[in-house]
């Protein structure tokens, strides 16, 4: 299947700083990518849909000014957690590949574990 690479796999940052997470589709072009957040012992919750060349679409309750998404090319989307706080500590996962589009499955990155101290 297609490969989605996410970087970094883990990061520790100080409270108040910003962290950027990259999501790359290595062998296919993705006009749409998705960012999920996974809390401990809970499921993945969709945060936002990243659209190449246009603004991201955020789910209800997700602060767009805090979680900045940029999808500048067909193979790269970035999520920046601005002014991070300990409650932002979580596992963030991106995916690409539209189930209802050309592909029939979503391909996931390996995830980024963010710890804010």
Partner 1 sequence: AQSVTQLDSQVPVFEEAPVELRCNYSSSVSVYLFWYVQYPNQGLQLLLKYLSGSTLVESINGFEAEFNKSQTSFHLRKPSVHISDTAEYFCAVYSGGSQGNLIFGKGTKLSVKP
Instruction: Catalog residues that contact partner 1 under the rule CB under 8 A.
Output: 1, 6, 9-10, 32, 34, 41-44, 46, 49, 57, 93, 95, 97-101, 104-111, 113
Residue 81's nearest CA partner among 11, 22, 35, 19 is 19
Which of 46/68 has CB closer to partner 1? 46
Which of 81/92 has CB closer to partner 1? 92
Which of 36/84 has CB closer to partner 1? 36
Give helix then strand counts, H and E, for the chain.
0, 11
Q: What are phi and psi of 103, to 5 degrees?
A: -100, 170
């Amino acid at each position: 299947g297609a490969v989605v690479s996410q970087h970094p796999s883990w990061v520790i940052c100080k409270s108040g700083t910003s962290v950027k997470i990259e999501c790359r589709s290595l062998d296919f072009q993705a006009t749409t990518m998705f960012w999920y957040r996974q809390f401990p012992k809970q499921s993945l919750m969709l945060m936002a849909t990243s659209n190449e060349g246009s603004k991201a679409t955020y789910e209800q309750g997700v602060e767009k000014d805090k979680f900045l998404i940029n999808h500048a090319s067909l193979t790269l989307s970035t999520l920046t957690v601005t002014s991070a706080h300990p409650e932002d500590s979580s596992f963030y996962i991106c995916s690409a590949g539209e189930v209802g589009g050309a592909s029939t499955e979503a391909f996931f990155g390996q995830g980024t574990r963010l710890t804010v101290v």
